[in-house]
A and B are shown apart, each in its own frame.
Chain A
């Protein structure tokens, strides 16, 4: 019987150990990515570009813009019957992107840029590119991009107008991400910030620096409210650290006192020897 016990424990140990071991797991990919990802040349180009995009990070894939059926593993996936839209013509691009980015499309069409569409003016892809679309930021307004058509002066002007608000948005966004990592529920604030950010970015597309300046104060005030909520939470967190630090100090003190008492007994033993 004694011989069995160690074997029993060994068996249990082995079993539990087996639980600890991982294996490979993969999520399924769309047919678009499976075919085009394997191609070289211009039909394969979009895939690695898209993988770096903010669309990919948010689960927006080929069929969300181009239509078609991502579950069909043949050329039939790209039939018009399955909703395939193909590559849009240049002048159709604002409608193509504007299916989702409705507000931006509205503001863009009212702007000088929008009115120049088809006459040498820029459309979405000109500044944002088509597959490697990254999160919008003032960095998209730069001399290399804007001087393709005109001088940089007015571009620099509007960039200055949006920068401070954009920095506020960025700062609050980073703080909220930090709070989120600490387990604080920031969903509502992140939603409000996201909505404000979109409102502000869509405003830019009118490329009217004066309008941006007029509305900046209002935006910054609304951002200030969110900033205030964040500050309240951060103060609460600082308070926790302060009180927590005090309790830790008390624990260390208790440990030291116990150790001193122990040492006291130790000395007494030695004196008694």
Chain B
């Protein structure tokens, strides 16, 4: 055997390292599309306003709807005044209920309570409910 050439074992080691490198590259190139495919879309319609017909929100009642991918609520505590808030409780994420007789929000999971404008009035929630800008357009309430 010619001693100046690389031994088969060395050559094989080099080839294996190369194969490993190419394999890693291919694995990455495969994982990327699969990961992106499964990832949630970046808030489809983030910034999109939602219109709710006025008759759906009687005085003293609440109307629940979807806003930017999560549940939200709009109430009319007094004639002509509309408030829109997120309906996701800031404690652990349950959806709050509106109590027309008590005129407040009650979270059924751990008894958190919020005033009509979203301030915490009782229970474990650490933060108030986030509010959204509301405007009136004819017979529609525009949130966002």
Contact = CB atoms under 8 A, between A and B. Distances in A.
Interface stretch (A114-122, A141-149, A247-255): A247-255
Contacts of A81: none
Contact of A257 (B8, B18, B25, B29): B18
B26 interface: yes
Interface residues on A, range: 10 to 19
Nearest to B7: A268
Task: Please report whether the interface of chain A is mostly helix, strand, loop or mixed according to DSSP.
Answer: helix
A257 B22 contact: yes
Interface residues of B, number: 12
A271 B8 contact: yes
Interface in B1-55: 8, 11-12, 15-16, 18-19, 22-23, 25-26, 29
B11 A254 contact: no
A253 B26 CA distance: 11
A251 B11 CA distance: 21
B13 to A, nearest CB: 10
Contacts, number: 30
Contact of B26 (A251, A258, A271): A251
Contact of B12 (A254, A261, A271): A261
B16 A261 contact: yes
B26 A260 contact: no
A265 interface: yes
Contacts of A167: none
Contacts of A254: 19, 22-23, 26
A251 to B, nearest CB: 7
B19 A250 contact: no
26 contacts: A247-B26, A247-B29, A250-B22, A250-B26, A250-B29, A251-B26, A253-B22, A254-B19, A254-B22, A254-B23, A254-B26, A257-B15, A257-B19, A257-B22, A258-B19, A260-B15, A261-B12, A261-B15, A261-B16, A261-B19, A264-B8, A264-B11, A264-B12, A267-B8, A268-B8, A271-B8
What 6 A-B pairs have minimum CB-CB distances, sorted nearest first?
A: A257-B19, A264-B12, A254-B22, A261-B15, A268-B8, A260-B15
Interface of B: 8, 11-12, 15-16, 18-19, 22-23, 25-26, 29
